[in-house]
């Protein structure tokens, strides 16, 4: 995309075009891992890392290999493979250096692979024709936006532990309602930057 500062894209990815609260991508691990702040932050940082890495790698693979060879139609399978490999590397790293986090994340660490936000960001990058710098900042910004959303949710849910919530709404019910309210709050950011 021409004529848009990468930093505007970065800012938009966090606030006005938040991958989770505006585009509703990446919901499943968001709903499940937002019970505790510590674990939520851990997952959020992991997702940010994966998003930064994969937006850079997928940009290079797309524009340096697929496009010159006119194999753009292979992008889904190639992006997914790159994402899977990145997550695998991340898992090895976390298992070695932070076993507590590894156990707490459980199955949601490998599930980052199929987090639709990750593939979504790579595909957006292609659709919107971002440059390399724009892509990397878009990926990192999206990750930070996702981290912001899950951190806020975890903070709210930890506080809610003390509260009396009507039986039918406990668990998924109230979480989805809060997500909706958060999404509405983020609409307040729209108009700060104009980006598609």
Partner 1 sequence: MMDEIILTVAVLGGINAVLSVILVIAERFFANYGECTITINQDKTLKVTGGSSLLSALNSQKIFLPSACGGRGTCAYCKCKITEGAGTVLPTESALLSQQELQDRVRLACQVKVKSDLSIQISEALFQIKEFEAEVVLLKDLTYDIKLLRLHLLRPEEIHFTPGQYIQLQNKPYPKVREIVSRAYSIASPNDETKNIDLMIRLVPEGICTTWVHHHLQEGERVIFTGPMGNFYLREGTGEIIMVAGGSGMAPMVSLLSELARIKSQRKITYFFGAVSKKDLFYVEEMNRFEKEIPHFTFVPALSQPDPDDVWDGERGLITTPLDAYLKKMDTPKAQGYLCGSPGMLNACIKTMNNNGITSDRIFYDPFA
Site string for partner 1, 52-71 (x = CB under 8 A): ---------x---xx--x-x
Footprint (CB under 8 A) of partner 1, residues 3-62:
61
The residue among 21 and 57 lying less far from partner 1, judged by its C-beta, is: 57
User: Collapsing DSSP states into helix, strand and coil, what is residue 104?
Assistant: helix
DSSP state of 66: I
The residue among 81 and 177 lying less far from partner 1, judged by its C-beta, is: 81
Distance CA 190, CA 193 (A): 7
User: Residue 82, interface with partner 1 (CB under 8 A)?
Assistant: yes
Sign of CA dihedral 53, 56, 60, 66: positive
The residue among 88 and 194 lying less far from partner 1, judged by its C-beta, is: 88
Q: Which of 85, 133, 151, 182 binds partner 1 (CB under 8 A)?
A: 85
Q: How many residues bind partner 1 (CB under 8 A)?
A: 21
From the CB of 14, what's the least distance to partner 1, in Å? 29
Q: How far is CA 154 from the centre of its chain?
A: 16
Distance CA 91, CA 95 (A): 6
Distance CA 140, CA 162 (A): 34
From the CB of 77, what's the least distance to partner 1, in Å? 7
| Residues 6+ positions from 112 with CB-CB distance below 8 Å | 29, 43, 46, 47, 50, 87, 90, 118
Footprint (CB under 8 A) of partner 1, residues 95-114:
95-96, 99-100, 103-104
Residue in this structure with the two tokens 């532990």, named with its chain if needed? 161
**Contacting residues toward partner 1, per CB under 8 A:** 61, 65-66, 69, 71, 74, 77-78, 81-82, 85, 88-89, 92-93, 95-96, 99-100, 103-104
């Amino acid at each position: 995309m021409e004529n848009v500062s990468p930093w505007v894209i970065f800012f938009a990815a966090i606030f006005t075009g938040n991958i989770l609260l505006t585009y509703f991508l990446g919901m499943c691990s968001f709903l499940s891992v937002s019970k505790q702040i510590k674990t939520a932050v851990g997952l959020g940082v992991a997702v940010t890392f994966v998003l930064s890495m994969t937006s850079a790698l997928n940009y290079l693979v797309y524009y340096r290999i697929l496009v010159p060879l006119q194999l753009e139609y292979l992008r889904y399978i190639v992006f997914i493979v790159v994402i899977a490999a990145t997550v695998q590397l991340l898992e090895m790293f976390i298992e070695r250096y932070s076993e507590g986090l590894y156990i707490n994340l459980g199955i949601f660490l490998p599930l980052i692979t199929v987090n639709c936000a990750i593939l979504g960001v790579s595909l957006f990058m292609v659709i919107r024709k971002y440059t390399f710098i724009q892509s990397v900042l878009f990926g990192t910004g999206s990750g930070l936006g996702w981290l912001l959303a899950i951190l806020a949710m975890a903070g709210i849910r930890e506080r809610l532990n003390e509260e009396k919530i009507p039986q039918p709404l406990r668990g998924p019910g109230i979480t989805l309602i809060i997500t909706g309210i958060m999404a509405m709050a983020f609409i307040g950011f729209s108009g700060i930057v104009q980006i598609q």
